[in-house]
Amino acid sequence: MDRRRSHDSAGRFTDYLDELAGVIGHAARVGPMRDYCTGLLLPCERKSVEPMAAATAPERVGAQHQALLHFVAEGLWSDEIVLAKVRDMVLPQIERHGPIEAWIIDDTSFPKHGPHSVGVTHQYCGELGKQENCQVAVSLSLANHHASLPVAYRLYLPKSWTDDNKRRKKAGIPDAIAFQTKPKMALEQLAWACAAGLPRGVVLMDSAYGSDASLRRGARDLGLDYSVAVWARTLVEGRAGKMKVEDLAAGLPQRAWKEVTWRQGSAEPLRSRFARVRVRARGEGCTRNEPEEWLLIEWPKGEKAATKYWFSSLPRNIAFDRLVDITMMRWRIERDYQDLKQEVGLGHFEGRGWRGFHHHATMCIAAYGFLISERGAIPPSGARSAILLPQPAVPTGWRPRGAAAAA
């Protein structure tokens, strides 16, 4: 991207879209792509097709609605190629502030009222903190302390979808997509990133992924280090024999604990008490030859017991503070998803098909990538999208038909 052409955010956004236009394929897609990305960055309350059509083309809302809907729901352009272009443009901007340090695996959920949107089933919904009807997507983000960027993103399909040919056909699910558990999807994304030669980082995962022994083993086989959360009941073997990590933590002497500060929070430095012990994982999915690795434990002052546990394959001689610092970098994915949902409407897509779900996500990641590139120019206290583009004009009296989640 030739940033010499423009010196303000709007001008740089035009340059950014010029680069995306080069990989979107047919020339007829370029206009809708520009308008879709623009709509995602406008200060609209809802970033679904209808309100974005009104915001980007107020004099011809109906025609614009059809153009944007066709582009996102039916357009035969490649998510992989567009995401690769975003990666090529945005990663250098992130790396200006330091090398990539972490590969963060996580998932995000989208509550849905009905059963018809692709991938919807009754499952744990992180956004609501309970079992509910929702979609879940698994992603891989590359991060340093300055920023992070999703580089892989795919909808999880439960067996109720992969085994139902009628539902598959109606939602346009590709024939090659078979059932995979979320940890297997995560491992596939890690393997893809290695094959693509992306700058390496320590793999970070929450306990839903980190507790999977085969996923940890797969990461090691790829030559990746990790620092991943595990459940309190996870079995380990150390000097005191085999036990749950929660019992091991309870038996540690006072001298094992150290207060560590890992980053500056919005109001004050973030710090807590940690201990680390060399152990070997045991239990479900583990082999007899599990490697010795770090068990990192957090026990905040005032708590009756330890609250978090991580396995880390980082070197035995790594400094304690550095081990905590890299492990706690997983917070970046929370920022990713907060911004993707609140700033660019990741969860606002109201279509039901496989292609539309992923096309919308790709455009959101593209828009978010531009925000990352602009981060140095954006006041921390303000909405990052609001300064980029002016409030759009909309037809008098126009209102979206509804912002309820699609069925």
The residues near 200 (Cβ < 8 Å, ≥ 6 apart) are 100, 103, 224
Q: Distance between CA atoms of 283 and 263, rounded to whole angstroms?
A: 34
Q: Distance between CA atoms of 353 and 171, rounded to whole angstroms?
A: 4
Residue from 36, 43, 4 nearest 20 by CA: 36
Q: What is the mean pLDDT of residues 259-273?
A: 85
Q: What is the mean pLDDT of residues 178-190?
A: 98
Whole domain around residue 277: which residue ranges? 207-328
Asked if the structure places residue 340 within a domain, the reply is no
Interval 278-290: pLDDT, tens: 999 999 999 999 9
The residues near 158 (Cβ < 8 Å, ≥ 6 apart) are 119, 121, 123, 179
Q: Are residues 216 and 315 in the same domain?
A: yes
Interval 154-164: pLDDT, tens: 999 999 999 99
Interval 105-123: pLDDT, tens: 999 999 998 889 999 999 9
Q: Contact at 8 Å (CB) between 72 and 36?
A: yes
Average pLDDT over the chain, rounded to whole? Answer: 90
Q: Are residues 79 and 20 in the same domain?
A: yes
Q: What is the mean pLDDT of residues 26-42?
A: 96
Interval 354-385: pLDDT, tens: 999 999 999 999 999 999 998 754 444 444 44
Q: Are residues 211 and 324 in the same domain?
A: yes
Record the pTM: 0.91
Q: Are residues 299 and 363 in the same domain?
A: no
pLDDT bracket for residue 7 (50, 70, 90): low
pLDDT the model gives residue 44: 84
Percent of the chain with pLDDT over 70: 90
Q: Contact at 8 Å (CB) between 354 and 174?
A: yes
pLDDT the model gives residue 45: 84
CA atoms within 13 A on the CB side of 148: 28
pLDDT of 4 above 50: no
Rg (CA), the chain: 23
pLDDT of 265 above 80: no
Interval 290-325: pLDDT, tens: 999 999 999 999 999 999 999 999 999 999 999 999
Tokens of 286: 């583990």
pLDDT the model gives residue 267: 72
Count of domains observed in the chain: 2
Interval 338-351: pLDDT, tens: 999 999 999 999 99
Asked if the structure places residue 176 within a domain, the reply is no
Q: Are residues 278 and 378 in the same domain?
A: no
pLDDT of 151 above 70: yes
pLDDT the model gives residue 376: 56
Q: Are residues 46 and 3 in the same domain?
A: yes
Asked if the structure places residue 48 within a domain, the reply is yes
Q: Are residues 360 and 322 in the same domain?
A: no
Q: Are residues 271 and 363 in the same domain?
A: no
Q: Are residues 272 and 358 in the same domain?
A: no
Q: What is the mean pLDDT of residues 76-104?
A: 97
Q: Are residues 91 and 3 in the same domain?
A: yes
CB atoms within 10 A of CB 122: 12
pLDDT the model gives residue 90: 97
Q: Are residues 212 and 317 in the same domain?
A: yes
